[in-house]
Amino acid sequence: MRELEERIARDGVVKAGNVLKVDAFLNHQCDVELFDHMGAEWARLFSGEAITKILTIEASGIGIACVAARHFASVPVVFAKKAQSINLDGEQYATTIYSYTKQKEYPVIVGARFLNKGDHVLIIDDFLANGCALEGLIELCRQAGAEVAGIGVAIEKVHQGGGDRLREQGFRVESLARIAAMDDETGEIAFA
Ligand code: 5GP
């Protein structure tokens, strides 16, 4: 998606440790019009799938997924929580994932009543690096008996291999911007 790549080239900042900072438009300050265009693109790409639910993970995924949902017919958005809370009652599906940016493990949890057998789930997230976050969401779908109809990612860092590993497992992964390499010394970003 050219618009997203141009925005990354303009406002993205490459940090040490292979981290791309996109807080000016994606995961701190949010460009809702850009989110809307991203949602339209995922709706076009997944138009052949009868999506019944969009699943994402807090916090950055929520805004992106909610705006995207406007392009799908009456599809609720469910976001996995990263911590237990008094509001998380009843049966739950849960697993543990490793955070690339925070370099630690944390739980991902959804209430069982929001993810069901028979659901055709579109998983949406902001970044795909090693694939741990998405694997956690896929595992929640597996526990629920829901089918993963597709995975929509805003930015895939192709060089980290997570996307290819998921595709090898048979998942359809559609990334709107694909980064092949980044250099934190020059600030250069090469798109795949
Ligand atoms: P993975 O689990 O695929 O290794 O990493 C995906 C998760 O880590 C995303 O949900 C995102 O929050 C975070 N992440 C991975 N790489 C980056 C990055 O370069 N920049 C930012 N801002 N977040 C990232």
Interval 151-164: pLDDT, tens? 999 999 999 999 99
Helices (DSSP H) in 46-95: which residue ranges?
60-69
Q: What is the DSSP letter of 19?
A: E
pLDDT in tens, 2-57: 999 999 999 999 999 999 999 999 999 999 999 999 999 999 999 999 999 999 99
pTM over 0.85: yes
pLDDT of residue 102: 81
For residue 57, give the ligand 1 atom closest to its CA. 10
C-alpha 93/C-alpha 74 separation (Å) is 24
For residue 158, which phi and psi values (nearest 5 degrees)? -55, -35
For residue 27, give the ligand 1 atom closest to its CA. 22
Class of residue 141 by CB neighbours under 10 A (exposed 0-12, middle 13-18, buried 19+): buried
Residue 90 CA to ligand 1 centre (angstroms): 30
C-alpha 34/C-alpha 13 separation (Å) is 18
Q: What is the DSSP letter of 70?
A: T
Question: To test the ligand 1 pocket, which listed residue (126, 158, 179) has its Cβ within 8 A of the most ligand atoms?
Answer: 126
Judge contact between 83 and 110, C-beta under 8 A.
no
pLDDT in tens, 106-121: 999 999 999 999 999 9
pLDDT of residue 146: 98
Q: Which region, left, alpha or beta, applies to residue 144 given φ > 0 means left and ψ of -120 to 50 means alpha?
A: alpha
Strands, E assignment, 112-165: 120-128, 147-157
Residue 20 CA to ligand 1 centre (angstroms): 9
Indicate whether residue 112 lines ligand 1 (CB < 6 A).
no
For residue 23, give the ligand 1 atom closest to its CA. 22
Amino acid at the residue 81: K
Mean predicted lDDT score pLDDT of the chain: 96
